[in-house]
Chains A and B, each alone.
Chain A
């Protein structure tokens, strides 16, 4: 099994050579009338195309650091480089049109429709109406909202989660290379948040932006970040590294404290369903297949249950031999409903969660359109969880094996 940090390691190397997208050089902000700087001499680089998560306790200066980047807050000292260019003193309005920003409270304009909200920056950039309209529809599709239904709505006619998505769509509107996102999934229920996070990762795979993402939720940071900067007071960087390294080698007691207990469980947030091998030998059949054919497939496999899919390949029901042996079998209602589905970009933690909550022994992996891809079972998750810690466990196993050999 390949380790999940392989691709990360190569991108590290690439970033080391290339010019970072954002570079902060001794950036400092001292608010008027305060003796202590809110952000003190921050120096960091954010590599192109990566998600950098700033995480830290409330008031440590995350928002301030972020707003220094697009100069909503003017730095007291230090320099900001965007794509190699010193933007510390350039025209702030022009700069901000190149940087998508989702503020902490989303900030949709209540008197603008969804379409008008998304179209703000394109309009500022002087796009034609036609082009803006097309872009709005494209973005609504991208964030999973039906354009014909949503473009004419006002923010108050949206749910919290939908507003967050519009906020993200709005920041993406003019296709800026850089996005700043300040707790975009903050005030939202855990289930919706998880869905939005997954969508966000899927989106990032398509758009490949350089994203600075603020959160105070460590799990979110581990799940989303290519790199994580753990900040302490005054935005001091306690550790800036990949999630793997932060979890396995916390740089200080502060970091260790911040990650909290259960680091090994948190590791499940690091691997995704798509990274591990799915079981694809499970027998399947269509709801409209002939019964004898369905029976034959189940018998010929070495599985005790068969997964029924609808005409578009979406999992519907689990059936076993007994379900199929009844005198009159309606495949649409036979057996048990197929629950616990996850998409490939879901983390193993999500998958495990699905399995536990639905008390199914396995999660069904489906693609974006919901069609069946394969299965992932409890054992696979456990094996993978262990393999992340292979470094340490392999020694243990080797020691055990050699011990057995000498004994035998």
Chain B
């Protein structure tokens, strides 16, 4: 309460919101909930900054030998992080592009019969251990970025597929009827009513897939892609504890950071009024 009072008094100075025709009451309410969100959103970054700061201080205090220095320097680590994120981002994007339309298709009345088939495939992709799955892909297509992405896509398709289907199925059918009753075409009904209402559930699926991919991308080191798993693997192979610790902390920290960012996006994209 005490923190909200000073911010409230500064409100007029922030000036009016861009000329929107929503009522003032509504706008103020939104500003207030957004502010609450911002407060809530501070926690995780602070924690991560603390963890990374401590890690940095600890590593700086260590006497690093030449082997350790080869792995633990800014440019090498940045490269690992970039490759890691590329893997996760590309595979998640591909899953989104494939699984969301399939999920939509599976919930259309005329194509209902594909639903069990798709779900079975998705289940299969997730049930097989990811390490084994990627190994199979690599055996078939050789090592490299593409093979790993392929494996990740197969592994993380299910959450998005399933959540798209569930998200659409849980939309109140009376709203669909209401939309159709007013003369919306099936496509318009999908785009303007069903999908927006399914957004929270679909996004939760995307978030899950993203986390799976960020986590599993660590394994890419065994298939020729030097993501953060490479640092950990080096630490183990060369028996260098600092390297091992840096790799482990960075991999976990990155996963937490991505999860956190996905959560923020999720909240921002959830339609107002829900």
Chain A residues engaging chain B, CB cutoff 8 angstroms = 67, 70, 72, 93-97, 101, 103-113, 115, 120-121, 124, 133, 148-157, 170
| 8 further A-B pairs in the complex, CB-CB below 8 A; given A70-B181, A107-B181, A152-B21 | A72-B181, A106-B178, A107-B177, A112-B273, A124-B184, A151-B23, A154-B273, A155-B273
Residues in B with CB closer than 8 Å to A110 are: 175, 197, 273-274
Give the residues from 174 to 195 in chain B that come closer than 8 angstroms, CB to CB, to chain A. 174-175, 177-185, 188, 193
Number of residue pairs across A and B with beta carbons under 8 Å? 85
- Is B271 located at the chain interface by the 8 A CB criterion? yes
Chain B residues engaging chain A, CB cutoff 8 angstroms = 21-23, 25-27, 172, 174-175, 177-185, 188, 193, 196-197, 271-274
CA distance A111 to B196 in the complex (A): 8
Question: Which residue of chain A lies nearest to B178 when distances are taken between CB atoms in the complex?
Answer: A107
Query: Once the chains bind, are A96 and B181 in contact (CB under 8 Å)?
Result: yes
Question: Which residue of chain B lies nearest to A98 when distances are taken between CB atoms in the complex?
Answer: B183
Query: Once the chains bind, are B183 and A97 in contact (CB under 8 Å)?
Result: yes
Q: In whole Å, how far is B211's beta carbon from the nearest beta carbon of chain A?
A: 26
Query: Once the chains bind, are A101 and B274 in contact (CB under 8 Å)?
Result: no
CA distance A293 to B179 in the complex (A): 62
Q: In whole Å, how far is B1's beta carbon from the nearest beta carbon of chain A?
A: 23
CA distance A170 to B178 in the complex (A): 11
Residues in A with CB closer than 8 Å to B21 are: 115, 133, 151-152
Question: Which residue of chain B lies nearest to A107 when distances are taken between CB atoms in the complex?
Answer: B178
Residues in B with CB closer than 8 Å to A148 are: 23
Residues in B with CB closer than 8 Å to A133 are: 21
Of A124, A156, A157, which one neighbours B182 at CB under 8 angstroms?
A: A124
Residues in A with CB closer than 8 Å to B25 are: 149, 152-153
CA distance A94 to B183 in the complex (A): 6
Question: Which residue of chain A lies nearest to B197 when distances are taken between CB atoms in the complex?
Answer: A111
Query: Once the chains bind, are A111 and B183 in contact (CB under 8 Å)?
Result: no
CA distance A120 to B182 in the complex (A): 8
CA distance A56 to B183 in the complex (A): 28
Query: Once the chains bind, are B180 and A96 in contact (CB under 8 Å)?
Result: yes
Residues in B with CB closer than 8 Å to A96 are: 180-183
CA distance A120 to B273 in the complex (A): 16
| Contact sample, A vs B, 16 pairs, CB 8 Å cutoff | A70-B181, A72-B177, A93-B184, A94-B183, A95-B183, A107-B177, A109-B175, A109-B193, A111-B196, A111-B271, A111-B274, A112-B273, A124-B183, A124-B188, A152-B25, A153-B25
